[in-house]
Amino acid sequence: MNGLPLSSQEQRILEEIEADLRLDRDLDSALSGMRMRRFRRAGFALREWGRGWARVGLLLLVGCSFALLGLAVAVPRSSVLVPAVLVWMLTVTALLNRKPRGRS
């Protein structure tokens, strides 16, 4: 917590309140019953994992790269190899240019 530190009396009162709350079984069961719904939880995870469409585009690029790479290995023709190499180069460039997220 930012700001001034608590006085000894305020600290003691806070500790008493926290001790009472830990012993309150009704509150504990009510709080443990509050669960996110499945779709909200998935939405929260997706929002935290990738903010913005840049990550979605990067995932699509990686998926297309692997699909084209597999196709290029199975059918070694220039009509398949050229797009595979171009998409692979674009994917590697995008992966190298993305900014790392700092933790705050």
pLDDT in tens, 28-53: 777 766 665 555 666 666 666 555 66
Length reported for the chain: 104
> Which amino acid appears at position 93 of this protein?
T
Structural domain spans, the chain? 8-49, 51-99
* Residue 11 CB neighbours (<10 A): 11
d(CA 36, CA 46): 14
Question: pLDDT per residue over 75-100, tens digit each?
Answer: 888 888 898 889 989 888 888 887 66
By the 10 Å C-beta count (0-12 exposed, 13-18 middle, 19+ buried), 93 is classed as exposed
pTM exceeding the 0.85 threshold for the entire prediction: no
Helices and strands in the chain: count of H runs, count of E runs: 5, 0
Query: Tell me, what's the pLDDT at 92?
Result: 87
Q: What is the pLDDT of residue 23?
A: 84
- Residue pair 60/68 in contact by the 8 Å Cβ criterion: no
